[in-house]
Structure 1
Amino acid sequence: MNKLSLTRFTFYILGILILALGIALTIQSKLGTSPFDALLVGLSETVGLTVGSWEVIIAFILIFCNSFLKKQRPEFLGLLTSFITGISIDMWLFLLHNLVTPEIWFSKLICFGIGIIIIGLGTAIYLYTHFAPIPVDHLTLIIQDLTKMGIMFSRTVIYLFFLLSAILFNGPIGIGTVITLCLGGAILNYFMKMIKKLTNNPNLSYMCTQSKN
């Protein structure tokens, strides 16, 4: 692996770890998670297995959905990202299980606020590497391409779909879910633009361009 590929892979792993930390924080806040994560938690609590395990299972299903929409072969490399994300989520949930005091509302709010922000940051970082996006994030990009709308719109459409699914499995729906529906797409859009602006630096732009080849 050359230096540029190693840099790309490092940012890819870093982005996933940040994303998984954000997901774990929103789950621990007990204020409600993103609709997709609420579905994972709901399935974990009603059916069994860990939240991270359901991340991989749902990803496997979405790979075929994405393949149908794009009319291309299934991109199974996305399972690698989902597998790493799933393990990371379970790891962070284990490490942070005593982080929030349920009786203290303010601590729950801070936990959720930090979580939703770094979810957007982590997602933007690993997506910018163009290396095996998580199928749900790949679906976001597919819908954006098909509808010619912004990433905020496509993210919101997906969130609404998973919201209905999460309700069926008694996922943790709450004020945090509403906030995610309203701001999740905008936060991701902000960080995507920020990273794009940062990489307008000639040296960074060259590095990213070369590492994608």
Structure 2
Amino acid sequence: MYVRKIGKSFLVYFIGILILALGISLMIQSQLGASPYDALLVGLYRTFGLTIGSWEIIVGSAVVLLNAVASKSRPELLALLTSLVTGIGIDTWLWLLGEWLIPDHLLERALLVILGILFTGIGIAIYLESSFAPNPMDRSMVILTDKTGWSFSRSRAIISIVFVVIAFFFNGDIGIGTLLNALITGFIIQWIRPYVLVILYKHPVPKANASQ
């Protein structure tokens, strides 16, 4: 029974990360700006080479170590798994989409941004429900909130600004998509989460959400 529960948790986690990686890839393909974190990954790729997914693994691992230092605890090895799976997923999606999904017009790029933000929100909503492995960035926000007493949203905003500033110096993928991602993704996660619970655990959709 325990093994089946862990297996289902990992499957939900993997599907969520896969969808999240698709959303990230669509944002990158749009050329209108990626999320603050992913904008830095693209900037590092443009500056130093390697692949965007490789930088996801490298930067994610560095964040895990910084989190351990800040919280004075051991590094969370499962958080490294999140960076690894996400990095491989990004490179795989970019390889699959890169040859034919090249937008030529602004309308096409805008559509990719919308789809990218939507899939990003859906992916995060799914993998969060698995409770299988933490995300290094989410852990950073929790640690910053604990250390400063700020709200989670304020900590998230501060960290996002820091990544955008660093991405700027590395010719990162900053644009209107970056701003939209920061503003909208949280609402998508909140909106989609009840329906994820219905699909995964047969929980009823709250009336407040069902009526929206």
The bucket for the TM-score relative to the shorter chain is 0.7 to 0.9
TM-score (norm 1): 0.84
Identity of aligned residues (%): 42
Instruction: Letter of the 2:94 partner, please give it.
Output: L
Deviates more, 1:137-146 or 1:122-131: 137-146
1:167 counterpart residue number: 168
Distance 1:11 1:129 in 2: 6
1:174 offset after TM fit, Å? 0.9
Per-residue deviation, 1:73 = 1.2
- Structure 2 stretches lacking a partner, 5+ long: 205-212
Deviation at 1:86, TM superposition (A): 0.5
- Is 1:60 matched up with 2:61? yes
Native 8 Å contact 1:17 1:122 kept in 2: yes
Q: Which residue of 2 aligns with 1:149?
A: 151
CA-atom RMSD in angstroms: 2.4
One-letter amino acid of the structure 2 residue matched with residue 149 of structure 1: S
- Name the TM-score, length of structure 2 as normaliser: 0.84
Q: 1:124 to 1:142 in 2, by over 3 A?
A: farther
> Aligned residue for 2:51?
50
Counterpart residue number, 2:85: 84
Which amino acid is the alignment partner of residue 86 of structure 1? G
- Counterpart in the other structure of 1:4: 5
Check conservation: 1:42, 1:170, Cα contact below 8 A: yes
Aligned-partner Cα distance in 2 for 1:173–1:51: 15
Structure 1 gap segments, 5+ residues each? 204-213
Q: Is the 8 A contact 1:153 1:185 kept in 2?
A: no
Distance change in 2, residues 1:127/1:178 (3 Å): same
Do the aligned partners of residues 98 and 105 (structure 1) sit closer, same or farther apart at CA in structure 2, a change above 3 Å counting? Answer: farther
What is the distance in 1 between the residues matched to 2:69 and 2:193?
26
Q: 2:100 and 2:26 mapped to 1: Cα distance?
A: 9
CA deviation string 1:168-205 (max 9, x = no partner): 100111111121222233333444465468778569xx
Pick closer, same or farther for the CA change 1:77–1:56 going to 2, 3 Å: same
| Contact preservation (8 Å) 1:126, 1:133 | no
Q: Which residue of 2 aligns with 1:106?
A: 107
Distance 1:94 1:171, change over 3 A: same
- Write out the 4+ residue segments of structure 1 that deviate beyond 4 Å after TM superposition: 192-203
- Contact preservation (8 Å) 2:29, 2:102: no
* Cα distance change, pair 123–74 in 1 and its aligned pair in 2 (3 A): same
Distance 1:17 1:127, change over 3 A: same
Q: Deviations over 1:59-88 (max 9, x none)?
A: 111112211332221112211111111011
Cα deviations by residue, 1:114-140 (Å, 9 ceiling, x for unpaired): 111111111121122222223113223
Does the aligned pair in 2 maintain the 1:156–1:185 contact within 8 Å? no
**Matched residue SS, 2:75:** coil
Equivalent AA in structure 1 for residue 91 of structure 2? D
Deviates more, 1:121-130 or 1:29-38: 121-130
